A and B are shown apart, each in its own frame.
Chain A
Amino acid sequence: MIIADILNYLLQLGTVFLLATEGSLVVQRAGLLNLGIEGFFAMAAFVAYLVQVMTGNFALSMLAAVCVAVAMNMIFTVLTVHLRLNHIVSGLAVAMFGVGLAYAFGRSLVQIPVYVQLPVLNIGGIYIDPIEILSFIIVGLLWFMMYKTKLGYKIRIVGEDPYVADMLGIDITKVRYIATLIEGALVGMAACYYILVSAGAWSEGVTAGKGWLAIVLAMMGLWDPLYAVAAVYTVVTIRDLIRLVPGIGENVFLLEAFSYIIAISLLAVVSHFEIKKRKRVSIPLALAKVYSREERARKYT
């Protein structure tokens, strides 16, 4: 029974990170390194909680979370795509803005727990709710989109070399907007699911680090929707099994620090492997690089 409980717990957290990671993956594939995810994860979680408290309607909360995440992500897109600003600093600005805003408004709320019980499918003691199923469907859809559709090709090429994409007649701005739209929607869902189903209440620092971890997980999964599942569940398992160890008490902080170190080490190993295989694995080589057509073209003349 305990094993089933642990699996349920991991599946729940895994779903949160899986959705957010897949979102970050899409946008990184389009060449944008979006650190702002931390900010709109917080804002989306806060709005989802607020709407749930006010209306009690889960679907409405999710819709609100998705809308907020998408809207905030647009700030990042405008800064980096139109104003050609540094991705890292722009992302940091959006992150600070979002986190600050969410907790500033959030503190004035009465922090009542609002655990949402979603209908579940019981398979031998393991409860699977619709969002968990959806997360895996989304993985499949994203994989299909990335490798089998025109849009997926476009996203990959834009991330690999925007100049080439431009010369192929791809509308880079549009593709990047679509990518951030997908990211916003997925992160909004992740945030809503996290705050209402997994955490169950708004509290100080409840979302801290979730978005940033998603960025790392996307890199660890080599920006591939399927590999990302492996990356997410490996790290979530290591990270969160620690908390369940009986009698761990305050040593949990040390172990949690350790779990981040494991995540970094895994990323280092995976990246090292990836450098050698670069000819075969397609990766967003233009990640975090600002593109301007005329300035790029000049280098060739």
Chain B
Amino acid sequence: MKLLELRGITKRFAHTVALDNVDFDLLKGEVHALLGENGAGKTTLVSIISGVYQPDSGQILLEGKPVTLKSPRDAYRRGIVLVPQHPALPESLTVYEALALFLDKSPSRKLKTFIEERLRKFGIEVDLDKRISLLTPYEKVKVEIAKALVADAKIYIFDEATSLLGHGDRELLYKIIRTLCAEGRGVIYITHRIDEVFNIADRVTVLRKGRKVLTRRINEVTREELLEAMFGKKLEEYAGPRSASTHGEGLAVENLTVQDDYGRLAVRNVTLSVKYGEIVTILAAPGAGHREFLEAIVGLRKPVSGRVKVNGIDVTGRDPSFIRRMGVAYIPDDRLGLGVAPGLAVKWNLVMRDLDKFTTKVGTFHKFLNDALVKVLEKVGLAPDVLPVPCAELSGGQIQRIITARELFLREVKVIVALNPFYGLDYETTSLLRKTLIDLRNSGCAILVATEDIEEAVKLGDRILVMREGKILKEFSGSTVSARELAKVLTL
């Protein structure tokens, strides 16, 4: 019996098609894994199933009946609960109050006993009386799981739930999922790790660039087939020549310690150096501290202790525009939140980091500005007619090209820092960006890329560092390491 069926779901955002005519179904008592790269459309698909997004076209059937899921509340009432990738919990309440609110019940002794029993049954340990604002991100994920479990739902969705969990808790989660299935519920399990799929799933669906590539029973599919489906021709692509010569120290980081937004130590005493003419990649799982590390280097975060030197000059704790003027480029992964000002035209997004260079003493813009902009747009393969268009109306790939043009070509840069630069990009933009980075390395730039993607780390890095829990775990040479070896270290 089909618990859930999606027929021909399509969802567009401005100029990108996030989901293109996707079919999906879920049976009673099964785990259906949803596999795909970052940006393949997995999260969009579950957002539609859990009522966050409305599909542009297509049909959703619950137990054979067509339904409209108007909101997360509506989905929840119909028996669908989601454990989101990023915990979204009320900071000012205690865990217990939040759970009570989710069940739409007034707090009472009886309810508390019920919740405690239910959590004990699944073996989840959370302090019910602790305020959520005092929890660590890792504890918050557990609260999200607890929240889903206290609800008596038919369909459970776990969106990359293990990315923030430790190893022991991962096993616990697998056990919970098996219990849920034994009770006749359905589980949709989203991940980008193939190992997990073989571990837990009954069936697997692979998405690539918003399209469904395959749906198979797990015993009818091999790891290679799944890899092929996830990445397509990307696998046999480019593993180009490594750096020929390096000279001098472009970026030097000494004993850097940095806090995250919650005041935890995200980076602990990290030392590294990047020479001119080499690419160093940091491979890390989400939340490993690489984000905070890069932000501290480019001045977006004040380090607790340690030193950052660019070309031998100490820039520790200086503001981003000062560090920019030292010839540092930064490509952030939060493109709409930080990379560009979405409401402003491309033109202004291009000049915004180099106002000192393109304005006169009075503050007016130089006459040669437009010509300069047209020239850099050409380098990233964009036509000049995007100049007056607000960035919010462009696709992710176009936005990344704009960021690339601004950071790399509008000023002479010596040091390039990039965070997840290929996340969610189309094939063409990915190749263009990779080629650009390699060209700049060959012409003598020092490049530091932090990525969550093993393939990218291998393809780019002359040296590859693996980061976990704020520390550099191990260093590899790019010419000898294999992806398999890296995966082992990353999942230790």
CB pair B86 A300 closer than 8 Å: yes
C-alpha gap A167/B148 in the complex (Å): 11
Let me know if A168 is at the binding interface, CB within 8 A: yes
Chain A residue nearest in CB terms to B18: A301
Shortest beta-carbon distance from A96 to chain B in Å: 27
Let me know if B364 is at the binding interface, CB within 8 A: no
CB pair B106 A150 closer than 8 Å: yes
Type the 1/0 row for A280-301, where 1 means its CB is closer than 8 Å to any CB of B.
0010000000000110011111
Contacts of B71 in A (CB 8 A): 166, 169, 171, 293
Contacts of A294 in B (CB 8 A): 52-54
Give the contact stretch, choosing among B29-37, B89-97, B192-200. B89-97
- Give the total of A residues in contact with B, Cβ under 8 Å: 26
Q: Please judge, given known A-B contacts A298-B13, A299-B337, A300-B85, whether A164 and B90 are in contact too, CB under 8 Å.
A: yes
Let me know if B72 is at the binding interface, CB within 8 A: yes
Contacts of B98 in A (CB 8 A): 168
C-alpha gap A300/B47 in the complex (Å): 11
Chain B residue nearest in CB terms to A298: B13
C-alpha gap A153/B132 in the complex (Å): 14
CB pair A170 B91 closer than 8 Å: no
Let me know if A279 is at the binding interface, CB within 8 A: yes
Contacts of B77 in A (CB 8 A): 169
Interface residues of A in 151-191 (CB under 8 A from B): 153-154, 156-157, 160-161, 163-171
Contacts of A170 in B (CB 8 A): 73, 101
Is chain A's interface secondary structure helix, strand, loop, or mixed overall? helix
Let me know if A149 is at the binding interface, CB within 8 A: yes
Q: Please judge, given known A-B contacts A299-B336, A299-B337, whether A150 and B105 are in contact too, CB under 8 Å.
A: yes
Is chain B's interface secondary structure helix, strand, loop, or mixed overall? mixed
Which of B101, B102, B105, B133 touches A279 (beta carbons < 8 Å)?
A: B133
Shortest beta-carbon distance from B40 to chain A in Å: 11
Contacts of B93 in A (CB 8 A): 153, 157
C-alpha gap A150/B134 in the complex (Å): 22
Let me know if B104 is at the binding interface, CB within 8 A: yes
- Give the total of B residues in contact with A, Cβ under 8 Å: 35
Shortest beta-carbon distance from A166 to chain B in Å: 6
Q: Please judge, given known A-B contacts A168-B101, A279-B133, whether A160 and B90 are in contact too, CB under 8 Å.
A: yes
Shortest beta-carbon distance from A62 to chain B in Å: 31
CB pair B72 A169 closer than 8 Å: yes
Contacts of A157 in B (CB 8 A): 90, 92-93, 101
C-alpha gap A61/B54 in the complex (Å): 46
Residues of B within 8 A of A (CB): 13, 18, 43-44, 47, 52-54, 71-73, 76-77, 82, 84-86, 88-93, 97-98, 100-102, 104-106, 133-134, 336-337
Residues of A within 8 A of B (CB): 149-150, 153-154, 156-157, 160-161, 163-171, 279, 282, 293-294, 297-301
Q: Can you give 25 A-B contacts (C-beta < 8 A)?
A: A150-B100, A150-B104, A150-B105, A150-B106, A157-B90, A160-B90, A160-B91, A161-B90, A164-B88, A164-B89, A165-B90, A166-B73, A167-B52, A167-B72, A168-B72, A168-B101, A169-B76, A171-B71, A171-B73, A297-B47, A300-B43, A300-B84, A300-B85, A300-B86, A301-B44
Enumerate the 4 nearest inter-chain pairs by beta-carbon distance, A residue then B residue, closest first: A282-B92, A169-B73, A167-B88, A157-B90
Beyond the given A150-B100, A279-B134, please list 13 additional residue pairs across the A-B interface where CB-CB is below 8 A. A150-B104, A156-B90, A157-B90, A161-B88, A161-B91, A167-B52, A168-B90, A168-B101, A282-B92, A294-B53, A297-B53, A301-B18, A301-B44
